[in-house]
Amino acid sequence: MSEKKKAFYRKVRVTILVFVGIFVVLFVFHVILGMVSDIDAPVSQQFGVTPPRGPVQQMSMDSYSVSMKNIATTKIVRDSTLHAPQVSIEQKYEKIADMSATSSDFDKDEEKIRNIVGEFNALIQLENKSGLEPSRSLRMTIGVLPDLFEDFVDTVSGVGHLVLLNIEKIDKTSEYLEINAKLKSLESLRDSLVQLKRRPGSIEEMISLENRIFEVERQIQEFKGALTDFSPEREFCTVRLSLRETVIVKDPGKFLRVIKASLVWALRIFGIAMVIAFFVLLSALIVVKILEKLKWIPVVIKDKIEG
């Protein structure tokens, strides 16, 4: 066998080994990725957390409406300037954290949450536990002291598998001042109406006056009820927590399924790459032949390309 043939066969073997190596790399890559993330495997047969019955958003506390409000207070001090003295502003605000988590060990994670609530001296204001094993759910509305709010949320985030966290802060200072102003105005109006009762008048006028006083008193009680949200006893931030139980299901056929999916994927990608490479080489060869006919390419370069 001539040296030229030996060199040719050697190049063929190297080319084949390179192509086989590329295919093996693609295949192994997809197998590893499939075993980790369950690519191309039916969700109901995966080895891992069973799929929820609905979108993750359904687990959020938006549908878990709570009429109760927790309003916290903070003092903001503005330093004095050349034109204004130091001012202390009392801000009223509502701070809410919506948290949703899944758990494969529901009893243990529920106990962790209750222990955390005790450690932070928090208050469970509303609780709902529903469902039967293995699809139980726990919902809580927890009042947390404002200074401990961030640490509490960080600690609870480590329980189970957190899938949703949303923190919102709403200023309530204007609302508080408006309620107080309206309350004072109504109380002044009531006192004025009570003074009118001492004056003589007809029965119809007295009945009308009593009805007016009753209506004003009703509005006063409504505003006083609204002010209870701002009372010192309710100086909390709110954490609305949802914990849902999930089940671990073993899938004995997962490995074979991933192998099959990886083989199909690697063949598809490898085939596409081969087609692209073929057309690229064919195009290059055509260009070389054209340049050769036009005598725009030196013979040396031609030999190197064809060799």
Lowest mean pLDDT, pick from 152-161, 187-196, 209-218, 277-286: 277-286
Q: What pLDDT does residue 307 have?
A: 52
Mean pLDDT of the chain: 78
**What is the tally of structural domains in the chain?**
3
Quick one: 37 and 17 in the same domain?
yes
- Tens digits of per-residue pLDDT, 100-131? 999 989 999 999 999 999 999 999 999 999 98
Phi first, then psi, for residue 159 (nearest 5°) are -95, 125
- The C-alpha atoms of residue 134 and residue 212 are separated, in whole angstroms, by 59
71 and 127 in a single domain? The answer is yes
Whether residue 108 is found in the same domain as residue 197 = no
Residue 29 confidence (pLDDT) above 90: no
> Which of the pair, 96 or 265, is modelled with greater confidence?
96
Percent of the chain at pLDDT > 70 equals 76
Q: Is the pLDDT of residue 239 over 80?
A: yes
Same domain, yes or no: 120 and 145: yes
Are residues 162 and 94 part of one domain? yes
Beta-carbon contacts of 43 under 8 Å, excluding residues fewer than 6 positions away, are 51
Residue 39 has what pLDDT?
44
pLDDT given for residue 90 in this prediction: 79
Residues 29-52, mean pLDDT to the nearest whole number: 53
Name the burial class of residue 219, with classes exposed (0-12), middle (13-18) and buried (19+) by CB atoms within 10 angstroms of its CB: middle
- If asked whether residues 243 and 163 sit together in one domain, one would say yes
The b-or-e profile of 231-256 (16+ CB within 10 A means b, else e) is eeebbbbbbbbbbbbbeeeeeeebee
Length of the chain: 307
Confidence at residue 85, expressed as pLDDT on a 0 to 100 scale: 61
pLDDT band with cut points at 50, 70 and 90 for residue 284: confident
Tokens 């060869």 correspond to 285
Q: Is the pLDDT of residue 97 over 90?
A: yes
Cis omega (within 30 of 0) for bond into 146: no
Cβ-count burial of 89 within 10 angstroms (0-12 exposed, 13-18 middle, 19+ buried)?
Answer: exposed
Contact in structure between 162 and 98 (CB atoms under 8 Å): no
Domain identity same for 14 and 77: no
Claim to verify: residue 116 and residue 237 sit in the same structural domain = yes
Same domain, yes or no, for 267 and 299? yes
Report the amino acid identity of residue 148. Answer: L
For residue 194, give its domain range: 175-229
Please say if the pLDDT value at position 96 is more than 60: yes
Q: Which residue has the higher pLDDT, 164 or 301?
A: 164
Q: Are residues 155 and 104 in the same domain?
A: yes
Q: Are residues 211 and 187 in the same domain?
A: yes
Beta-strand ranges (E) seen in the chain are: 48-49, 72-78, 87-103, 123-130, 137-144, 161-171, 237-245, 248-249
d(CA 260, CA 258) in angstroms, rounded, equals: 5
Indicate whether 47 pLDDT > 60.
Answer: no
Bridge partners of 87?
Answer: 78
Same-domain status, 136 and 28:
no
